[in-house]
Structure 1
Amino acid sequence: MGEVHRRADLFEIASEQWQWQTWEDRPYLTCKLLASWNHGFFTQAFAPELPESLVKVFHPEIPAYRVKQVHGNTVLTSDEISWEGQHFSPADGIVSTAQQQAVFVATADCTPALIGDRLTGQVAAVHAGWRGTAKRIIPEAIQKFLDAGSELKNLLVALGPAISGEVYQVSTDVAVEMGISLGLQDLANDVDAMLLALENLIESPILPDPDDGKVRLDVRRVNQLQLEQLGLDIAQVAIAPHCTYQQPEHFFSYRRSNEKKVQWSGIVSNRF
């Protein structure tokens, strides 16, 4: 029960960490966990602006980096991004390589993750939908930090507004992929056993659904579990208490409107 109570206390603290800010009378979110960095989880009020314009919220003249997002698990450094044909390099995460670099990702119902190393000042922005989560994209980003000399104890992760588990219906096949991403490969061919194993996790990432062959999925919780398995303490991760599907006044949601509209999230590196 001690672990359950600790999680409940930390969830309340994490919820309090999220603050509304405004820029030119438009709202966006910040997280106290990332207070050492200029950052923001922008709302639909900033559409259709791109990072090249949004970066001015942070600084009048620093470079902004983005990629062509493809729902994979490739994470590039800012130095590795190039313009290829009509698009930036295909990837779903960016890690800074110098100070004063702003890295951005776009999301609608997928999870935007902003990561910072409180010792070095290095940062990352990651787009983690269910496909990227199944491929463990946030752990891939964490590995980039470790390869650059970071220590797990210094990493802080904010998981921004995304579709919540209570409304996100997916097939049980997707739930199986989530289980595999959490190390339950032995249950890959037994859907019922996989669902039972996931249901038995503390704060299960899946909820029942009335339709056959369907469940509700909390993608952010899966990412949180992946981070815990890597060794991050639960106090190093904050999850936004906001659902893109249920808050149409602030966020675009593809699942709600079937429109390809996005909001951006970004963070600026410091120190180094």
Structure 2
Amino acid sequence: MHTWQWRNWGELPYLTCSLLELWHHGFFTQQFWPRSPAELTKVLQPEALVYRLKQVHGNTVLTPQEVDSKLSTNGDDLASADGLISEQPLQAVWVASADCTPVLIGDVRTGQVAAVHAGWRGTAKKIVPQAIARLQTQGSKLDDLRIAMGPAIAGEVYQVSLDVAAEIGSSIIPQGDEKYIVESLQNLPNSPLLADPNPGKARLDVRRVNVLQLESLGISGEQIAIAPYCTYQTPDHFFSYRREQEKKVQWSGIVSGK
């Protein structure tokens, strides 16, 4: 089993995962708010170059080179996307989340890494498989990937409408109408869809949907770790947009190696 460890920087706690032990990485808590990724990179690896995005709940994955070229052409502060993959050593890639799933990925052979923001919309658009496809174009093999999903809202407290459940479900059950997709999801072993007392609603485990997407690519459960924390139910450590309706985030980042 993969273990999750609390670490401290000063008095402030952040989370790491044994699956990613080859890389400097962290799933940071709300105690670090409002520090920026540039400051947080100093906690992980002060020499690394820092990359972050303007997140838009899509499935675009960029490289640092693309981020830099977009900034120079648009003159914006940040490039719009929801995933970053490194191209060289000592690149720190960051995503922000408040209930959505932060996903950090490392390749044990190449040392390259990815950071992905996978909310329900990004998950419906298969952003994590998208990031993996980009890593593969850089020479990654599926067996070499290690994937950690950080603290996010848990299925038992995440109520969605059935059309949202069907939209996200179509990422793993491609054919059929809404009713068919929802029923097929419910019939899966360890289903990502849980019952809700309200008609037209369901509870949705977004991290589980991401796991199913990864398994359909041929990635084994051994290569995946899921943090045992729910942002909504752990107010001491994590912001939750559903709980507080505040635009605050926690950051998750990883630094490429080799």
TM-score (norm 2): 0.96
Question: Residue in 1 aligned with 2:175?
Answer: 186
Whether 1:196 and 2:186 are equivalent positions in the alignment is no
Compute the displacement of 1:60 (Å). 2.3
Counterpart-to-counterpart distance in 1, 2:84 and 2:180? 36
- Whichever residue aligns with residue 252 of structure 1, its letter is F
Which of the residues 55, 62, 68 maps onto 1:69? 55
Counterpart-to-counterpart distance in 1, 2:25 and 2:45? 11
Aligned sequence identity (%): 60
How do 1:16-27 and structure 2 match up within 5 A?
Answer: 17-27=3-13
Which of the residues 33, 46, 51 maps onto 2:37? 51
Question: Residue in 2 aligned with 1:114?
Answer: 104
Counterpart-to-counterpart distance in 2, 1:225 and 1:25? 37
Tell me, what secondary structure is at the counterpart of 1:181?
coil
Whether 1:168 and 2:158 are equivalent positions in the alignment is yes
RMSD: 0.9
Q: Give CA deviations for 1:197-234 in whole Å, capped at 9, x if unaligned.
A: 10111110010111111000000000000000001011
Whether 1:32 and 2:18 are equivalent positions in the alignment is yes
- Whichever residue aligns with residue 266 of structure 1, its letter is G
Question: Residue in 1 aligned with 2:215?
Answer: 228
Which of the residues 113, 123, 126 maps onto 1:123? 113
Question: Residue in 1 aligned with 2:206?
Answer: 219
Counterpart-to-counterpart distance in 2, 1:41 and 1:59? 14
Compute the displacement of 1:29 (Å). 0.3
Compute the displacement of 1:46 (Å). 0.3
Question: Residue in 1 aligned with 2:237?
Answer: 250
Compute the displacement of 1:186 (Å). 1.9
Counterpart-to-counterpart distance in 1, 2:244 and 2:77? 26
Tell me, what secondary structure is at the counterpart of 2:93?
strand
Hey, which bits of structure 1, 4+ residues long, moved more than 4 A?
Answer: none
Counterpart-to-counterpart distance in 1, 2:38 and 2:84? 15
Compute the displacement of 1:174 (Å). 0.8
Which of the residues 125, 138, 147 maps onto 1:157? 147
Tell me, what secondary structure is at the counterpart of 1:166?
helix
Counterpart-to-counterpart distance in 2, 1:168 and 1:95? 29
Q: Give CA deviations for 1:164-193 in whole Å, capped at 9, x if unaligned.
A: 0000000100110122100x2322x2x332
Counterpart-to-counterpart distance in 2, 1:29 and 1:144? 26
Tell me, what secondary structure is at the counterpart of 1:143?
helix
Q: Give CA deviations for 1:66-92 in whole Å, capped at 9, x if unaligned.
A: 011000000001111033444311000
Q: When the two structures are aligned, how many residues end up with a matched partner?
A: 254
Tell me, what secondary structure is at the counterpart of 1:81?
helix
- Whichever residue aligns with residue 215 of structure 1, its letter is A
TM-score (norm 1): 0.92
Counterpart-to-counterpart distance in 1, 2:80 and 2:50? 16
Q: Give CA deviations for 1:231-262 in whole Å, capped at 9, x if unaligned.
A: 10110000000000000000000000100100
Question: Residue in 1 aligned with 2:138?
Answer: 148
- Structure 2, unmatched stretches of 5+, are none
